[in-house]
Structure 1
């Protein structure tokens, strides 16, 4: 069974894909400035989809921070739980 998506897991996944330490990612840091490109972001979307959270890449692109992505993911997970 896969671990449910959390803020910390999201941070770890982003750090792993851009090869930096998770502590280097602040909640409000621009992920593109840290080295995340669109191909890697798409890979994260696919990874999180495997964990059951269906995120829209175009929505994430409008908020390229960990805090922004977590807000989108949390809203999506809450909506799924209510359905």
Structure 2
């Protein structure tokens, strides 16, 4: 998992070009809903990255999510 992969996954779920999504933009305001967020959580868990929905929802930005994923990968 890389930051680029994260951006691609989110852009795909939003059906938007990656370049139009800011690292600090609230993804919920952008249209990412809870069902799509849960699909990300499940996908990441299958890749061995343990994150939870509540933590993602507290600060729904690419930059924060990358911090969480990076931290989870270091502790795995």
Q: TM-score, normalised by structure 1?
A: 0.86
Q: Residues 5-30 of structure 1, C-alpha deviation per residue, up to 9 Å, x if partnerless?
A: 11110010001011001111111010
Q: Residues 32-77 of structure 1, C-alpha deviation per residue, up to 9 Å, x if partnerless?
A: 1111011110011111112221211111111110001001111111
RMSD value over aligned CA atoms?
Answer: 0.8
> Which of structure 1's runs of 4+ aligned residues deviate more than 4 A?
none
Name which of 67, 73, 76 aligns with 1:77: 73
Q: Which runs of 5+ in 2 are unaligned?
A: none
- Residue aligning to 1:11: 7
Choose between structure 1 and 2: higher helix proportion: 2
Name which of 10, 13, 20 aligns with 1:24: 20
Distance in 1 (CA, whole Å) between partners of 2:17 and 2:30 is 11
